[in-house]
């Protein structure tokens, strides 16, 4: 599974989690950068730069494959980054995807902190089972695909309802969706959408949500529907049309109530298409209930 980009997305959005998982003292306000070390012509997975000059720089590496040189390369980056930042204090952290990937290279193990990421996430879950970071990593941590499929909706809901800042929450949503798609390669995108129905509508403004629904940002509501259906949003036309209409209505017009959802599910394909055409001009969902009521007359 692809992990580097997703890990940088998560910890770039919330660098403080690095210190929480590594058991290191927090450094206050900081930012995580992807930095090319000029003297080595080599890119680091991430350098956390605190605003406070008194706090150390943190060189972060994510290792999810075998690399016997990971310690020596990390130490080299630590030394080079320290020189580039005027000999500022540095510390190194390697997050391993599995304990067996740690070559434990001496003497550098005394200079670089090694963290087995799955182990630390499980400890975090024991301390705080509702932590959104725990939920985001479940596609990697779930023991089986069946477990992930059974609990994915709840994990996504935990992320979406967390009290994180919007940018951090969106990063976790995107990473969760990316890893879920990778972990369930035998599932089509429409099957994953169906598995997460009820949680996805608010994802359409994220990159992962757009990837599933294939809705163009610059397209109108009706064009977006046509494209979504062309990709097979659901197994049957009627079911797919219902889901697409709900998702696209909520895209800019607000959250559908349970009653409105049930009423939409009772519409015929012709009525759904008519609804979509008329709703394209609405600024809110206020006209929806009267529109549906007219169908019963």
Domain ranges of the chain: 4-127, 130-196, 219-297
Global confidence as pTM = 0.66
Q: Answer with the residue of higher pLDDT: 288 or 214.
A: 288
Q: What is the mean pLDDT of the chain?
A: 82
pLDDT of residue 92: 97
Q: Bigger pLDDT: 32 or 211?
A: 32
Please state, in angstroms and rounded to a whole number, the distance separating the CA atoms of residues 124 and 140.
15
pLDDT attached to residue 95: 96
How large is the average pLDDT for residues 2-23? 93
CA of residue 236 relative to chain centroid, distance: 29
Q: CA angle, corner 36, sides to 35 and 37, nearest 5?
A: 110
Render pLDDT for 206-251 as a digit per residue (tens, 0 to 9): 444 454 444 333 344 444 444 444 444 444 445 666 777 777 777 6
Spatial contact of 265 and 274, defined as CB atoms under 8 Å apart: no
Please report which helix (H) or strand (E) contains residue 160, including its range: helix 145-160
Residue 273: per-residue pLDDT: 77
What is residue 1's predicted lDDT score, i.e. its pLDDT? 76
CATH class of the domain comprising 4-127: alpha beta
N residues, the chain: 297
pLDDT digits (tens, 9 = 90+) for 127-165: 988 899 999 999 998 989 999 998 998 899 899 899 999
Of 82 and 198, which is predicted with more confidence? 82
Give the pLDDT confidence score for residue 197 in this predicted structure: 63
pLDDT, position 224: 46
| pLDDT tens column, 141-151 | 898 999 999 89
In sequence order, the 6+-apart residues with CB closer than 8 A to the CB of 238 are 269
Mean pLDDT throughout 107-120? 96
Burial annotation 255-265 (CB, 10 A radius, 16+ → b, else e)? ebeeebeebbe
In the chain, the percentage of residues whose pLDDT exceeds 90 is 48
**Rounded distance between C-alpha atoms, residue 71 and residue 222, angstroms:** 54
Q: What is the pLDDT of residue 240?
A: 63
pLDDT at 228: 45
pLDDT digits (tens, 9 = 90+) for 170-213: 999 999 999 998 999 888 877 887 788 655 544 444 444 454 44
Beta bridge mates, 93: 60, 113
pLDDT of residue 230: 46
Instruction: Identify the band that residue 31 occupies on the pLDDT scale cut at 50, 70 and 90.
Output: very high
pLDDT at 120 (0 to 100): 95
pLDDT band per the 50, 70, 90 thresholds, residue 262: confident
Q: 188, exposed or middle or buried, with CB in 10 Å at 0-12, 13-18, 19+?
A: middle
Can you give the pLDDT at residue 19?
A: 96
pLDDT over threshold 90, residue 4? no
Query: In this predicted structure, what is the pLDDT of residue 252?
Result: 56
């Amino acid at each position: 599974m692809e992990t580097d980009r997703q890990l940088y997305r998560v910890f770039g959005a919330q660098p403080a989690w690095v210190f929480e998982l590594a058991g290191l003292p927090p450094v206050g306000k900081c930012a995580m950068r992807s930095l090319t070390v000029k003297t080595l012509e080599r890119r680091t997975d991430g350098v956390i730069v605190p605003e406070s000059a008194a706090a150390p720089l943190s060189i972060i590496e994510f290792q999810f494959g075998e690399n016997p040189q990971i310690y020596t390369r990390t130490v080299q980056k630590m030394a080079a980054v320290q020189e580039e930042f005027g000999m500022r204090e540095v510390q190194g952290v390697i997050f391993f995807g599995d304990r067996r990937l740690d070559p434990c290279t001496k003497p550098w193990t005394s200079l670089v902190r090694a963290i087995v990421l799955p182990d630390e996430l499980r400890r975090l879950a024991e301390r705080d089972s509702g932590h959104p970071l725990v939920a985001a990593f479940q596609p990697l941590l779930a023991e089986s695909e069946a477990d992930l499929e059974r609990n994915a909706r709840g994990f996504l809901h935990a992320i979406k309802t967390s009290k994180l800042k919007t940018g951090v929450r969106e990063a976790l949503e995107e990473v969760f969706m990316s890893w879920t798609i990778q972990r369930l390669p035998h599932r089509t995108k429409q099957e994953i959408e169906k598995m997460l129905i009820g949680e996805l509508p608010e994802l359409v403004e994220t990159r992962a949500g757009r990837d599933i629904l294939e809705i163009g940002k610059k397209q109108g509501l009706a064009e977006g529907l046509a494209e979504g259906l062309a990709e097979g949003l659901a197994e049957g036309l009627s079911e797919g049309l219902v889901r697409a209409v709900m998702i696209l209505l909520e895209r800019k017009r607000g959250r559908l109530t349970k009653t409105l959802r049930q009423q939409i599910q009772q519409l015929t394909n012709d009525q759904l298409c008519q609804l979509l055409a008329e709703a394209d001009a609405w600024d809110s969902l206020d006209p929806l209930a009267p529109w549906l009521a007219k169908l019963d007359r």
